C-alpha cells in the first residue's frame, strides 16, 4: 500500500468516527484514536517478536539491538545494526524510529507555527534543558571531522514506551462535566451596566457557540466578560500563539492578517478567537487594532470552556430525561436518545405566538417541553390542545407536505426542535411509529 493511499484511508476512517461520535474535543479525540490504533498494532506485533528475531528482523528498536561505537574523546557516535523492517504509522516524525535521526540530516529546517519552538524532531538548536531531558533535540551532526567538545554528546535514546498512556494535549485544561457541581470553581463577575449587558446579550445571541446556552449560562458569560482597550496598531492576538481569550468588539475596527497578508476587517459587534479556545489550537490569524481606540470584551479560556462544556452537558442531561417521557420515542436505545438530545435546539414562544402556520413549508419537528398550545385549522378553529411531552410538525416532514394546521402558544411555551436533516437520521425506529400514527393516512 502506498503512503498516500494509507494516509487517505486513515483520514477517511477517522472522519467517519468523528461524524458518528461527534466529540466535544476534536483534537483530543483524534489523539486518542491514533494512540489506540498504535497500541493495537504493537499488541499484534509483540507476540511475533521472537520469530522476527530468528529471521534477523528487529520489530522494535532498543538499546540491546543497537551496536554503539564511540570514537576517541570526541563524542561522535555511529550505530551498526539492522533498521526496523517497517516505518511508524505516523510517518517520519516518530522520535522512536531509527530512520528519524538519518532523515533529519537530509531535511532543511522548516519554520515552526509556534513561537516557542515546538519543532518535534528538529535538528536545529534548542533551548538548554539538561542532558537528561528525553525531549531535548539532538545537536546537528557535523561532517568536518573536527573534534567536538565532550559536552556535545547525543541525548539518550527515547525508550519505545516513553510516551505510553500520556495525554497528547498539553495545553488544555482537563475538564470533567460530571464533577462540576462538586468543585469549588466560581466564574469571575464584573460590574456591568444594564445597557452593556443588553448589548452583549444581543452580540452573543448571534454567535453560534452561545446560541444553545440557557439563559443562566448566557448570564454567566456576560458577567464574566472583562473590558480591554487597545490603541492603533496594537497586536490583540498573534498567529501561532496559544489561545487565551475570546473577544467581542465593542467599538473600533480590527484587521485580520494571515501569514502577513490582510484577509478581513471587523468592527462593533464582531467576535473572534473562539476556535483557538474550543480546540486548543494555535491562533489562525493575527488581529491588529486598526482604529485609534479599540474596546473589546474578553472572556478567558477556562471560563469559556467551562461554561460551554457545562451548558452542553446539562442540556444533554435535561433532554435525555425529557425524551424518556415522550411515548413515541420509547423504542429508541439510550445511545440513540443521547444522539437525539445533542441535536435538539431550544426555542421559547410567548402567548399568541404562532410556532407553525398552516400552509407553510415544514422544516422542523417539535417536542413541547413546557406550556400549552392550540392546534388550529382554517374553517374549524381549535381542533385540539397540546402539552408537555406532545409533539407536532411530523406530518410535513414525513410526507413532504405543507403544514396541515397552525400551532399557537396559549402561554409561555418551550419547545425542543429537530431540523429536517436530522429527523430521519436520528429518530430511527421512531419514524415508523410516527408513520403508523400519521393522521393524513
Q: How far apart are CA 12 and CA 39, in angstroms?
A: 20
In the three-class reduction of DSSP (H, G, I as helix; E, B as strand; rest coil), residue 364 is classed as strand
Is 301 one of the annotated binding-site residues? no
Instruction: Classify residue 423 by burial, with Cβ atoms within 10 Å: 0-12, 13-18, 19+.
Output: buried
In terms of residues, how long is the chain?
A: 441
234 closest CA partner among 288, 297, 293, 294: 288
337 closest CA partner among 352, 353, 318: 318
Dihedral (C-alpha) 381, 384, 386, 392: value to the nearest 10 degrees?
A: -80
The grid cell for 179 is 464533577
The grid cell for 234 is 496594537
133 closest CA partner among 154, 102, 105, 107: 154
Q: How far apart are CA 367 and CA 32, in angstroms?
A: 36
CB 123 within 8 A of CB 137: yes
Q: Which residues sit opposite 323 in a β-bridge?
A: none
The grid cell for 417 is 426542535
Q: What is the DSSP string of 7-54?
A: HHHHHHHHHHHHHHH--SSHHHHHHHHHHHHHHHHHHHHGGGHHHHHH
Is 380 one of the annotated binding-site residues? no
Q: Kindly calculate the radius of gyration of the chain based on its CA atoms and give it in whole angstroms.
A: 29
Is 370 one of the annotated binding-site residues? no
How many beta carbons lie within 10 A of that of residue 93, not counting itself? 12
Is 274 one of the annotated binding-site residues? yes
Backbone phi and psi for residue 35, each to the nearest 5 degrees, phi listed first: -60, -40
Binding site, by residue number, is 274, 283, 394, 403
Binding site for 3',5'-cyclic AMP, by residue number, is 274, 283, 394, 403
Amino acid at each position: 500500500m502506498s503512503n498516500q493511499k494509507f494516509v487517505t484511508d486513515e483520514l477517511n476512517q477517522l472522519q467517519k468516527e468523528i461524524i458518528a461520535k461527534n466529540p466535544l474535543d476534536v483534537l483530543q479525540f483524534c489523539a486518542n484514536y491514533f494512540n489506540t490504533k498504535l497500541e493495537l498494532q504493537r499488541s499484534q506485533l509483540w507476540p511475533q517478536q521472537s520469530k522476527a528475531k530468528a529471521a534477523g528482523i528487529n520489530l522494535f528498536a532498543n538499546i540491546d539491538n543497537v551496536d554503539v561505537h564511540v570514537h576517541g574523546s570526541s563524542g561522535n557516535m555511529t550505530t551498526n545494526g539492522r533498521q526496523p523492517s517497517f516505518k511508524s504509522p505516523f510517518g517520519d516524525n516518530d522520535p522512536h524510529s531509527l530512520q528519524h535521526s538519518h532523515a533529519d540530516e537530509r531535511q532543511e529546517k522548516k519554520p515552526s507555527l509556534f513561537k516557542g519552538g515546538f519543532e518535534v524532531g528538529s535538528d536545529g538548536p534548542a533551548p538548554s534543558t539538561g542532558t537528561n531531558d528525553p525531549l531535548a533535540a539532538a545537536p546537528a551532526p557535523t561532517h568536518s571531522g573536527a573534534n567536538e567538545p565532550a559536552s556535545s554528546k547525543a541525548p539518550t535514546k527515547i525508550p519505545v514506551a516513553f510516551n505510553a498512556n500520556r495525554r497528547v494535549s498539553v495545553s488544555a485544561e482537563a475538564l470533567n462535566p460530571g464533577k462540576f457541581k462538586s468543585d469549588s470553581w466560581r466564574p469571575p463577575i464584573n460590574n456591568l451596566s444594564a445597557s452593556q449587558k443588553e448589548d452583549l446579550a444581543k452580540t452573543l445571541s448571534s454567535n453560534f457557540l452561545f446560541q444553545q446556552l440557557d439563559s443562566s449560562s448566557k448570564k454567566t458569560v456576560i458577567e464574566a466578560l472583562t473590558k480591554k482597550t487597545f490603541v492603533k496598531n496594537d497586536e490583540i492576538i498573534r498567529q501561532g500563539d496559544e489561545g487565551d481569550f475570546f473577544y467581542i468588539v465593542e467599538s473600533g475596527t480590527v484587521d485580520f492578517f494571515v501569514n502577513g497578508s490582510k484577509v478581513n476587517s471587523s468592527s462593533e459587534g464582531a467576535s473572534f478567537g473562539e476556535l483557538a479556545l474550543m480546540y486548543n489550537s494555535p491562533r489562525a490569524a493575527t488581529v491588529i487594532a486598526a482604529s485609534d481606540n479599540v474596546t473589546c470584551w474578553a472572556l478567558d479560556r477556562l471560563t469559556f470552556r467551562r461554561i460551554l462544556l457545562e451548558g452542553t452537558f446539562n442540556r444533554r442531561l435535561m433532554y435525555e430525561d425529557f425524551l424518556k417521557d415522550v411515548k413515541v420515542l420509547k423504542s429508541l436505545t439510550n445511545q440513540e436518545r443521547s444522539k437525539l438530545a445533542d441535536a435538539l435546539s431550544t426555542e421559547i414562544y410567548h402567548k399568541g405566538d404562532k410556532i407553525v402556520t398552516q400552509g407553510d413549508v415544514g422544516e422542523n419537528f417539535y417536542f413541547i417541553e413546557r406550556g400549552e398550545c392550540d392546534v388550529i385549522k382554517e374553517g374549524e378553529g381549535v381542533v385540539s390542545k397540546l402539552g408537555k411531552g406532545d409533539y407536532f410538525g411530523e406530518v410535513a416532514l414525513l410526507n413532504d407536505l405543507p403544514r396541515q394546521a397552525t400551532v399557537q402558544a396559549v402561554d409561555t411555551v418551550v419547545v425542543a426542535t429537530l431540523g429536517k436533516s436530522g429527523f430521519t437520521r436520528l429518530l430511527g425506529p421512531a419514524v415508523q411509529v410516527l408513520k403508523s400514527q400519521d393522521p393524513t393516512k
